[in-house]
Amino acid sequence: MFEQLKILPADPILGLNQTFQQDANADKINLSVGVYQNAKGATPIFTAVKKAEQALLNSQSTKAYAPQAGDPAFIEHISNLLLGNDLVASLGDRLAAVMTPGGCGALRMNAELLVQASANTTVWVSNPTWANHFPLLQSAGLTLKTYDYYSADTHGVDFAAMVESLNAIPKGDVVLLHGCCHNPTGADLTQPQWDTVIDILAERELVPFIDVAYQGFGDSLVDDAYGLRQAALRCPEVLVASSCSKNFGVYRERTGAALVITATASQTAAAKSQILSAARRCYSMSPSHGGSIVGHLLSSESLTSEWKAELEQVRSRMNRLRLGLATGLNDAQSKIDFGFVAESKGMFCYLGIPQSDVLTLRSEFGIYLLESTRINVAGLSEQNLPVIVDRVADVITR
């Protein structure tokens, strides 16, 4: 049966991480994979998360199946965190949420829903977008096309081109937007730009599908949800794929939520039943541990404020490192103005150096970034920053 199978190439990001693990260079530095690291290079568990988990372990008396749609406390609180309590209340039964295995599970379940709603759905993604959007959504049966988003010349959003692209998308198509902290570029829309984008979506009857994997990593939990909340206020139909992997640091617990807003309560009930049916035929039920941790944490005022304070520390540390990289590189050379690095949001940004320099950094110095030049800002540290600045400046000025 399996004689014909070929070994597939590794996923570009996970594969590069494997190459990094095998690299014998003692001074190697990994800026490729999207995981937060503290000054010691560790990915610690948030104290508030650990406390919530401990409370859960103490109180849990069964491992029987949990509700298929997810822990009710998780569903209630994650919806409020994303949309804000007032909007959740005003949407009422037009909104439904289902717990999923991570943000990937949420993307996939919403993709399954779209395919059931219409066999020929096209989803438009930004150029560039997170590489995994393609296999995740296409293998569900969706057609993917790209809209203009990023300019390599300005190292920022090419908003005029984006608007032109969006205005050419046929009515009824779906537009996938990164809620904040655009992966891979770190170039986000400003609030006025979001307003314009939502105007176009609403006017052209396009359906926003918002991927929120980094809420709280950009400006704040509330600011990072601006575009999402405006879409939910102004568009009759919205899909959301939310991930708790990064902002709660529960990566391996596979915790996320698929949210659906439709024009009526009965359409939402139908959409939710379609998501649950898709989950049943794919994996039946989500893992429940991560959702119960997040649900417990967000049900407690004291744990919530402790978590928010920890998240704030993570965000400001990434901002310090980002600024350190920008100023360090600008002090060390004058060929490229890296000011844009300081402006980027979240965990990632493009460094915008030639691809050949990316390969030289890897082979000569064991510094790993993606060939697109994407770096994980959280892979920088107070200790490795001067080394990285020195090596990057060296390679680009040769």
Ligand X SMILES: Cc1ncc(COP(=O)(O)O)c(C=O)c1O
Q: Is 130 an active-site residue?
A: yes
CB count in 10 Å sphere of residue 146: 14
- The distance of closest approach from Cβ of residue 44 to ligand X in the complex, given in angstroms and rounded to an integer, is 17
For residue 213, indicate whether it is catalytic: yes
Which three-class secondary structure string do you get for the chain? Answer: CCCCCCCCCCCHHHHHHHHHHHCCCCCCEECCCCCCCCCCCCCCCCHHHHHHHHHHHHHCCCCCCCCCCCCHHHHHHHHHHHHCHHHHHHHHHHEEEEEECHHHHHHHHHHHHHHHHCCCCEEEEEECCCCCHHHHHHCCCCEEEEEECEECCCCEECHHHHHHHHHCCCCCCEEEEECCCCCCCCCCCCHHHHHHHHHHHHHCCCEEEEEECCCCCCCCCCHHHHHHHHHHHHCCCEEEEEECCCCCCCHHHCCEEEEEECCCHHHHHHHHHHHHHHHHHHCCCCCCHHHHHHHHHHHCHHHHHHHHHHHHHHHHHHHHHHHHHHHHHHHHCCCCCCHHHHHCCCCEEECCCCHHHHHHHHHHHCEECCCCCEEEHHHCCCCCHHHHHHHHHHHHCC
- Catalytic, out of 71, 188, 211, 357: 211
**Whose Cβ is closer to ligand X: residue 96's or residue 213's?**
213
Residue with Cβ nearer ligand X (45 or 202): 45
Point out the catalytic residue in the list 246, 307, 326, 345: 246
* Least distance between ligand X and beta carbon 249 (Å): 11
Q: How far is the CB of 210 from ligand X (least distance, A)?
A: 10
Q: What's CA 89's distance to the chain center, in Å? A: 25
Residue 93 a catalytic site member: no
> One of 52, 97, 106, 130 is an active-site residue; which one?
130
Residue 320 dihedral angles phi and psi, to the nearest 5°: -65, -45
Query: Measured from the CB atom, is 243 or 360 closer to ligand X?
Result: 243
Q: Which is nearer to ligand X, 183 or 292 (CB)?
A: 183
How far is Cα 177 from Cα 227, in angstroms, rounded to an integer? 9
Least distance in Å: CB of 395 to ligand X? 27
Q: Are 80 and 225 in contact (CB under 8 A)?
A: no
> From the candidates 213, 231, 241, 258, which is the catalytic residue?
213
Smallest distance, ligand X to C-beta of residue 255, A: 7
Strand partners, 122: 143
Q: Tell me how far, at minimum, the Cβ of 398 lies from ligand X, in Å.
A: 33
Task: Enumerate binding residues for ligand X (CB under 6 A).
Answer: 34, 102-104, 130, 178, 183, 211, 213, 243, 245, 256
In which region does residue 49 sit, left (phi positive, over 0), alpha (psi from -120 to 50) or beta (all else)? alpha
- The minimum distance between CB 105 and ligand X, in angstroms, equals 7
83/181 with CB nearer ligand X: 181
In the complex, the smallest distance separating the C-beta of residue 183 from ligand X, rounded to whole angstroms, is 4
Nearer Cβ to ligand X (13/342):
13
Is 211 catalytic? The answer is yes
Nearest partner of 172 among 113, 232, 237, judged by Cα:
237
Catalytic residues: 130, 211, 213, 246
